[in-house]
A and B are shown apart, each in its own frame.
Chain A
Amino acid sequence: MTRHFRSWIMAAASVAAMASASPVLAQDVTEITVQRFFGACDADFGTNTDVSKAVGECGIITSLINKFNADNPGIKATVTTVEWPGYDQLTAQFAAGDPPDIVTVHESALSDYQSKGLLLPLDELLATVGISPDSFTDAGRGGVTKEDKIYALPIDSWTMLYHINLGLFKQAGLLNADGTPILPKNVDELLAQAEQFKQKTGKPYFIQNLANENALFTRNLYTYLFQQDSDFFADPMQVKLKTPEAKKVFELYKTIFDKDYTTKNMDYAAAIQAFLAGEGGVQLNGTWVVGDYNASAEKAGTALNSGGYAVYPYPQLFGGKKAQYADGHTWAVSNKDDRTPEQLAAIGKFLKFFADNDFEWSRTGHLPAFKAVLASDAFKALPHRDTIAPIAELGTPLPSAVQRQFAIQDIIGEEMGAAVTGQKEIDAALADAESRINELLANL
């Protein structure tokens, strides 16, 4: 009886101790919620805190957040990973009044949320942790500045690139004496080189993910419209696509498709597999795969290792300004009424951590968003940065006042895809794209 009574007393005391200790523990750890895209790779990097050992977007961002949590025991950043780009989910979260504290947002999508008052202006918060917007690159600062306020922390600038299989280029006779690839300087040269490549290698010049793809078509169109000085978004509420410039771009890509200078019917994953397997000369893909492709090229026995891998900005095919479409990734902070000062301070620390580690992020292949990193020897020493550095100057976004850029991207991609694959006349596709986008923008 005495022993039972003692057990009860001990159990009750334990429960009481736990109950009284829990609030203390809870007070000690400030929890913030982080939502991001860039994929999930917990199997490889779920516990890694040595960022230098991580490769690729997913590996590096996972390791960075792990390191942030390890370095800040008083803060717990809980991560939700969403499928790219995650805006449908984010919009629903905002509508439900339950957004994450910190979220990855493209510079091109910031206006949608900022214009609704859903994002926190960060000028004061960044100042408290010692981040000056003057330290941002021009592209980064322009991308996150709305109505003279900073609405996100830029972490990179990205664009599309020519990822080149040098072994196949050599076989096609498209290498200079110094081993660099011969790239076209105009549309005729591009088509001639693509024909030469096809004849000599039996493979298509381009590897493109054209199967139910929207983003690639749209980014290609923007790039070559910029190169023709086409001011297609002179009015951010109205697009002009029924133009000779747009028609030239559609015709170019249709010719590439019709003459089998490109892979067909591949989705994004298949296109990456095909490039890594040496199925074509040039893959049109973004800055984010430079790290992974370079790693493959350094591995003995791979298709890229046999002849080498190089990466360049899109060639200048038209006579206008030297430009190509670019965007950037940012960390944005949601506007929340019930956020505590401790949580706000934790968010500031998180942003500071990413600003301080922008070099690590730039190892993905993206251009850094901080001038100091861009100018650093460490960044310049990274593989291929000498050839892709010009995109810091070439990168051109859409005007930031253009809203619903992801919805517009889908419309252009659908129409351009239909025209290029021959399901629709080019003029009809351009007219439909223009009217559909303008109808969307007229009803914001």
Chain B
Amino acid sequence: MAEALVSSQASLSSPALTAQRAPRANINASQWRNALFIAPYLFFFVTMLVFPLIWGIWLSFHKADTFGVGKFVGLANYARLFGDKIFLQSVGNTFYFVLLTAPALALLGLFLALALNRQTRSAAFLRAAFFSSSVLSVTIVTLIWRIVFIPDFGLLATIYGWFGAPAPAFLSSPDLSMIAIAIATIWWCVGLPMMLFLSALQQIPGEIYEAAALDNANRWQTFRSITLPSIKRTFILVLLIQVVMQFQLFGQARLMTQGGPNNTSKPIVMYIYDVAFKRWDLGMGAAASEVLFVLILIAAMAQFVLTRRRGEN
């Protein structure tokens, strides 16, 4: 047996066979055929994202309606856009909405995650309960909140009625309409930030908390010196994801207030929808879309820069 093994090793190391062996392939070498692995994704990325993006930019320089592209108009659509008070108002509305929702979602998500980061049945049930609203469609969410806010017959009106007071007109007051949409949105979207924070919290090693406990650190000190620094990157990630998502507000505003009253709750996407599909002014709608694209791009780049800098540190 031992002889056979020695003989086998000798034959493997013989110069004749070594000469015949094919050169070992460098798996890290750059080869064109490797592109085949990403080809399916690339195909959809180009056709569904890159091409529409370029097509949209091209449209924004043309007079176009839903049924055809007309003459080249240069920057005329952008000039009309920035001369339109309603568009500027919708940009302001969108920033206001992002300001109302993104920090609130991050803070509320963190609070819920801290409160429910424990291995008990009630915590598991509450985690599922708080996340459950996220699976609802926007139609159901707005229907629920319309039932709450609707004057005279809504839940809020009923509760105020018990105290003989009129309920605030959340859906028709220029000061409250966007707040109403923000409340519905926070209720709808809080599940994802909570889950992201929970996963971040569960990655903090328990030994650090044990060491803090040995040092007699109180809860606030532990949170400020251990928890918060450990989840800083997640916090920034959640905040920026929410900024990007909430910039795209449409369904809630469309279904709850139709952008009113007096356009005070009309976000940019709804403006784009109105211009492109109600007025059939596709060129101007495309121009507004490009402005929104730039705004979201800035937010996404900020996320990229901030998270990379943190990583480097």
Residues of A whose CB lies within 8 Å of any CB of B are 87-88, 91-92, 94-95, 112, 116, 118, 210-212, 214, 264-267, 270, 273-274, 279, 404, 406-407, 410, 414, 417-418, 421, 423-424, 432, 436, 439-440, 443-444
Bound form: Cα–Cα A265–B260 in Å: 12
Which residue of chain B has its CB nearest to the CB of A112? B280
Task: Tell me the smallest distance from the CB of B281 to a CB of chain A, in Å.
Answer: 6
CA distance A88 to B273 in the complex (A): 9
Determine the chain A residues whose CB is within 8 A of the CB of B174 once the complex forms. 423
Distance (Å) between the CB of B266 and the closest chain A CB? 9
Query: B236-265 interface mask toward A, CB cutoff 8 Å, 1 = contact, 0 = none?
Result: 000000000000000000000111111100
Q: Is B80 interfacial (CB-CB < 8 Å)?
A: yes
State the CA gap A440–B276 with chains docked (Å): 12
B220 on the A face (CB < 8 A)? no
- Among the listed B67, B84, B150, which residue makes an inter-chain contact with A270, where contact means beta carbons less than 8 Å apart? B150
**CA A416 – CA B232 in complex, angstroms?**
49
Note all chain B residues with C-beta closer than 8 A to A118: 67
A91–B66 touching, CB < 8 Å: yes
- Chain B 47-87, CB within 8 Å of chain A: the 1/0 string? 00000000000000001011100000000000010001110
User: Per-position contact with A for B264-280: 1 when CB-CB < 8 Å, else 0?
Assistant: 00000000011001111
Chain A residues near B274 (CB, 8 Å)? 407, 410
Within 8 Å by CB of A212, from B66, B171, B277, B280, lies B171
CB of B151 within 8 A of CB of A94, answer no
> When the two chains form the complex, which single residue of B169, B259, B262, B284 contacts A443, counting CB atoms closer than 8 Å?
B284
State how many angstroms separate the Cβ of B256 from the closest Cβ of chain A. Answer: 9
Question: Does B172 have its Cβ within 8 Å of any Cβ on chain A?
Answer: yes
Q: B288-304: which residues lie under 8 A (CB-CB) from chain A?
A: none
A417 to chain B: which residues have CB within 8 Å?
Answer: 260-262
Residue B223 interfacial (CB < 8 Å): no
Inter-subunit contact B172/A210 (CB<8 Å): yes
Known interface pairs A417-B261, A436-B86; A88-B277 also in contact (CB < 8 Å): yes
Q: Which residues of A contact B262 (CB under 8 A)?
A: 414, 417-418, 421, 423-424
Q: A92-B277, A270-B150 are in contact. List 18 more A-B contacts (CB 8 A).
A: A91-B280, A112-B280, A116-B67, A212-B257, A265-B171, A270-B151, A279-B152, A404-B278, A404-B280, A407-B274, A407-B278, A407-B279, A410-B274, A410-B278, A418-B262, A439-B84, A443-B80, A443-B281
Q: List 27 A-B contacts (CB under 8 A).
A: A88-B277, A91-B66, A92-B277, A94-B67, A95-B67, A118-B67, A210-B172, A211-B151, A211-B169, A212-B259, A265-B152, A265-B172, A270-B151, A273-B152, A273-B153, A404-B278, A407-B274, A407-B279, A414-B262, A418-B262, A423-B262, A424-B262, A440-B281, A443-B281, A443-B284, A444-B65, A444-B280
> Which secondary structure dominates chain A's binding surface?
helix
Q: Which residues of B contact A (CB under 8 A)?
A: 63, 65-67, 80, 84-86, 150-153, 169, 171-174, 177, 257-263, 273-274, 277-281, 284
Query: Does the CB pair B153–A406 fall under 8 Å?
Result: no
Q: Which residues of A contact B171 (CB under 8 A)?
A: 211-212, 265, 267
Find out whether the CB atom of B150 lies under 8 angstroms from the CB atom of A421: no
A-B contact count (CB 8 A): 87
Please give, as numbers and ranges, the residues of chain B lying within 8 Å of A432 by CB-CB distance: 85
Tell me, in angstroms, the Cα distance from A92 to B281 when the chains sit together.
13
Q: Is the CB of B67 within 8 A of A266?
A: no
How distant is the Cα of A265 from the Cα of B85 in the complex, in angstroms? 25
Q: Which residues on the B side are within 8 Å of A407 (C-beta)?
A: 274, 278-279
In the complex, the answer to whether A443 meets B63 with C-beta atoms within 8 Å is yes
Measured in the bound complex, the distance between the Cα atoms of B297 and A100 in whole Å is 39
Residue of B nearest to A211 (CB): B172
The residue in chain A whose Cβ has the minimal distance to the Cβ of B278 is A407
Q: Give, as a whole number of angstroms, the nearest-CB distance from A214 to chain B.
A: 8
Which residue of chain A has its CB nearest to the CB of B172? A211
The winner among A87, A92, A264, A439 for most chain B CB atoms within 10 A is A439
